[in-house]
Copies of this chain bind each other. A is one copy, B any other.
């Protein structure tokens, strides 16, 4: 059944999709003190790949991205950004060509797959706890893997992930990513650990607290009931209105 779907998908691709352009999304989340990327484990290969796909002939590239991320994560409201086009020669869907499905395809379909592809890189920031990872028809598994310990991937997906991280890191100055990566309610320490993870450097506790609160985009909630042997920290959430207003006028955090 699935097999048939794959064959159908590949057979019809050349009629439905733009030729030569694909799309890969670096879906980033944060859990257990690590920035993680959602990767798919391909059937028939011991390789991982970014979620991605093709762009329908009558579809905006942004819309195609939204659709892909929604399919893999189940999320509807998304923060995502295009960050780079990867256009080296020699990029193609080689891993599909060698698959067991390729043999059965028509010449048109095979030619379409064999052509060179440029790929548009997007990154998306999501709350890991809200995501139910969903493999696509070409993959057998779907998992959150820490970005600093990537497994073997197809093509240049390693480079795509690293470029994405660089962009997120630079965005941190203008854009408080916590809103998209943390659960609705969180403590300042949790936010600090996220920042330390992204920037890969320790920060002073007291100064971080003052600095982030002075941005005036957080709302303090009731105290956290924790089991820890220490003072219970406050919970905060983002004030979406103030947040929207601030990012338009630019914040300098770092």
Residues in A lying within 8 Å of B, measured CB to CB: 18-21, 55, 57-62, 82, 84-85, 87-89, 116, 118, 120, 170, 174
B116 and A89 form a contact (CB under 8 A): no
Supposing A19-B19, A20-B18, A20-B21 touch, asked if A87 and B61 sit within 8 A by C-beta, the answer is: yes
CB distance from A56 to the nearest CB of B (A): 9
Residues of B within 8 A of A85 (CB): 61, 82, 85, 120
Shortest Cβ distance from A58 into B: residue: B89
CB distance from A75 to the nearest CB of B (A): 21
Q: Which of B18, B62, B120, B174 contacts A116 (CB under 8 A)?
A: B18
List 7 A–B pairs whose Cβ atoms lie within 8 Å, in order of A's numbering.
Answer: A20-B20, A58-B89, A61-B87, A61-B88, A61-B118, A62-B87, A85-B85
Shortest Cβ distance from A170 into B: residue: B174
Residues of B within 8 A of A57 (CB): 116
How many angstroms from the CA of A62 to the CA of B84 in the assembled complex? 12
Shortest Cβ distance from A63 into B: residue: B89
Residues of B within 8 A of A116 (CB): 18, 57-58
Residues of B within 8 A of A62 (CB): 87
Residues of B within 8 A of A59 (CB): 89
How many angstroms from the CA of A168 to the CA of B61 in the assembled complex? 24
CB distance from A207 to the nearest CB of B (A): 17
CB distance from A163 to the nearest CB of B (A): 11
